[in-house]
Amino acid sequence: MEDKKLSKEQIQDAEEQIEEAMAEVETGNLITDNILTFTFDEVEYKVIRPTFSKRVELREKMSKKKLDMILGDTYLPISLLKEKWLAKGIDINKLEEKMKSLNKDKEKYQNSLGKLLTEDNERDNLESYKDRIKGIDEDINKLAFQIMGCLDISLESQLENYGFSYLAYLISEKKIGDNWVNAFDTYEDFVNFDDDRLINKLCLYTSLVGRDEVQV
Amino acid sequence: MKYKFNHNLVDKNLKKLAKSIKYQTLFGLSKNHGFKRFKNEYDLTNIQFDFLNMLSFQCDISLDVACGEVSEKILTDDIYASAYSYYKMQSYKEKKKEVEKENRVQKSTSKNATTFTDTWDFKTKK
């Protein structure tokens, strides 16, 4: 067989394809059970659905944190933060209204496009409707990012972040010998762990397993 | 090789899997014959719920295409699929409203009819 050298682009393409295939297999594994496992630095980790007692602990921690935040003067609730932004010239309520109206426009086009798809003479306008919806989606995403950027420092948003990272700490376990133990001894150990790759993976898996547990 | 795995990628792959013949078949079997979908039977994770939603959505639109109710183009593009789904939901809501309206009209007519029968004056036999 002739020994051909692959170009850089071909190697990159092949690597991307392998990566995609690996991700697809991994996604398949993520749905088979409610316990997600993976290996990191030769240690086996798992993320599990929280037990009742862990849910109670999470609620208690979040309530305490909320009280601390309300009593402290670092974080503002969304309503007050909106006023501060308004004073700086950014009207978030207006942005939200704009988003609502864009959503209505999108639904209008979706309805027309959906109807068209059920008719025999549908072909002509399909692409134009699709482009309009795509355009609206882009505008909605831009607005959502803008609003999120303004409000992610709010008390509610920070409380949600705290709740989520606390949940990740609570439901992460690692295998030592034949036993499963908490992946981190304390929440502080989890937060201060120096390898972001492990923390990111545990957080991603936590969101796949139980993001509904954190409600502010 | 740098291995990236994020939320968007999970969603993208989940959609791909939901469209696959393997998972559509499994979904059909689980619906009609109680075939086990996951290792766990209860306490589903968020990703399992999302996946079931996607499977159910895909199953519905595939059935509609097979019945000729909609163009098979919706299987090729997510924008078409969600537009059709929205239109279908709206049509269902409108039909439901119409049926409720008809029922109300029927009820009120039957009420009138009852009132009418109530006032019947039966003649006593002489």
Secondary structure of chain A as H, E, C letters: CCCCCCCHHHHHHHHHHHHHHHHHHHHHHHHHCCEEEEEECCEEEEEECCCHHHHHHHHHHHHHHHHHHHHCCCCCCHHHHHHHHHHCCCCHHHHHHHHHHHHHHHHHHHHHHHHHHCCCCCHHHHHHHHHHHHHHHHHHHHHHHHHHHHHCCCHHHHHHHHHHHHHHHHHEEEEECCEEEECCCCHHHHHCCCCHHHHHHHHHHHHHHHHHHCCC
Please write the tens of the pLDDT for every residue from B39-84: 888 889 999 999 999 999 999 999 999 999 998 889 989 999 999 9
pLDDT above 90 covers a percentage of chain A that reads: 72
Question: What is the pLDDT at residue B31?
Answer: 77
Q: Is A30 among the domain residues?
A: no
Q: How does residue B1 score in pLDDT terms, banded at 50, 70 and 90?
A: very low
Residue B45 domain-assigned?
yes
How is residue A28 written in tokens?
A: 């398949």
**Among A14-23, A62-71, B90-99, the least confident range:** A14-23
Contact B87 A118 (CB under 8 A): yes
**Nearest CB to B43; choose among A34, A122, A208:** A34
Decide if A209 touches B, using CB distance below 8 A: yes
pLDDT at B86 over 60: yes
Mark yes or no for CB contact B79/A130 under 8 Å: yes
Phi-psi region of B119 (alpha: psi -120 to 50; beta: other; left: phi over 0): alpha
A172 and A138 co-located in one domain: no
Cα dihedral A90/A96/A99/A103 (nearest 10): 180
* A34 part of a folded domain: no
End residue of a domain, out of A152, A185, A200: A152
Read off the pTM. Answer: 0.79
- Residue B113's pLDDT is what? 61
**What confidence tier does B2 reach under pLDDT thresholds 50, 70, 90?**
very low
Q: Is the model's pLDDT at A131 over the cut of 60? A: yes
Q: Does residue A139 lie in a domain region?
A: yes
Residue B121: CB atoms within 10 Å:
5
Domain count of chain B? 1
A18 has a chain B CB within 8 A of its CB: yes
Quick one: A161 and A147 in the same domain?
no
CA dihedral B102, B107, B113, B114 (to 10 degrees): 170
Residue B32, in any domain of the structure: yes
Q: Quick check: B114 contacting A, CB < 8 Å?
A: no
Q: Which of A67-76, A119-128, B3-12 has the lowest mean pLDDT?
A: B3-12
Q: Do A88 and A147 lie in a common domain?
A: yes
Residues A137 and A93 placed together within one structural domain of the fold: yes
pLDDT for residue A205: 92
pLDDT above 70 covers a percentage of chain A that reads: 96
* Integer angstrom CA distances of residue A70 from A25, A75, A165, B75: 45, 8, 20, 50
- Determine, for residues B5 and A111 on separate chains, whether the beta-carbon distance falls below 8 Å: no
Assigned domain for B27 exists? yes
List of chain A residues whose C-beta atoms are within 8 Å of the C-beta of residue B4: 19
* B87-122 pLDDT, tens digit each: 999 999 999 988 888 888 887 777 666 555 555 555
Q: Measure in Å the smallest separation between the Cα of A136 and chain B Cα atoms.
A: 12
Contact at CB, B70 and A118, closer than 8 angstroms: yes
Would an 8 Å CB–CB cutoff place A21 in contact with chain B?
Answer: no
Q: Cβ A34–B73 below 8 Å, yes or no?
A: no
Instruction: Give yes or no for residue A184 having a pLDDT over 70.
Output: yes
Contact B10 A114 (CB under 8 A): no
Domain-located, residue B64: yes
Range of the domain at B31: 1-82
User: Are B76 and B53 within 8 A, CB to CB?
Assistant: no
Most confident of A27-41, A169-183, B98-112: A169-183
Residues A146 and A86 in one domain: yes
A99 and A193 in a single domain? The answer is no
Q: What is the pLDDT of residues A69-85, one digit of tens each?
A: 999 989 999 999 999 99
Rounded CA-CA distance B35/B58 in Å is: 18
Q: What is the pLDDT of residues A188-200, one digit of tens each?
A: 999 999 998 999 9
The answer to whether residue B87 neighbours chain A at the CB level (below 8 Å) is yes
CB A135 within 8 A of CB B79: no
Q: Scanning every residue of chain A, which has its alpha carbon at the shortest distance from the alpha carbon of B72? A: A117
Q: Does B27 touch chain A (CB under 8 A)?
A: no
- Is B124 a domain residue? no
Nearest Cβ partner of A113 from B10, B13, B83?
B83
Specify if A28 maps to a domain: no
Q: Of A110, A132, A152, which residue constitutes the final position of a domain?
A: A152
In a domain, residue A10? The reply is no
| Residues A115 and A147 grouped into a single domain | yes
Q: How far apart are CA B1 and CA A19, in angstroms?
A: 8
Residue A15 lies in a domain: no
Q: Are residues A122 and A147 in the same domain?
A: yes
**pLDDT (average), residues A116-142:** 87
Number of domains in chain A: 2
Residue type present at position A43: V
Establish if B68 belongs to a structural domain: yes
Rounded Cα gap, residues A98 and A116, in angstroms: 27
Q: What is the pLDDT of residue A2?
A: 52
Contacts with B125 (C-beta within 8 Å, 6 or more apart), sequence order: none
Sheet containing strand A172-176, strands side by side: A35-40, A43-48, A172-176, A179-182
Same domain, A86 and A136: yes
Per-residue pLDDT averaged across A154-177, rounded? 95
Whether the per-residue pLDDT at A100 is higher than 90: the answer is: yes
ipTM over cut 0.85: no
User: Last residue of some domain: A152, A167, A182?
Assistant: A152
Q: How far apart are CA A95 and CA A101, in angstroms?
A: 10
Residue B125 lies in a domain: no
Q: Is residue B120 part of a domain?
A: no
Three-state DSSP string of chain B: CCCCCCHHHHHHHHHHHHHCHHHHHHHHHHHHHCCCCCCCCCCCCHHHHHHHHHHHHHHHHHHHHHCCCCCHHHHCCHHHHHHHHHHHHHHHHHHHHHHHHHHHHHHHHHHHHHHHHHCCCCCCCC
Confidence of residue A5 (pLDDT cuts 50, 70, 90): confident
Q: Are residues A124 and A171 in the same domain?
A: no
Q: Is A18 within the bounds of a domain?
A: no
Give the domain extent around A197. Answer: 39-75+154-216
Give the model's pLDDT for residue A192. 94
**Which range among A145-149, A152-156, A169-173, B110-114 shows the weakest confidence by mean pLDDT?**
B110-114
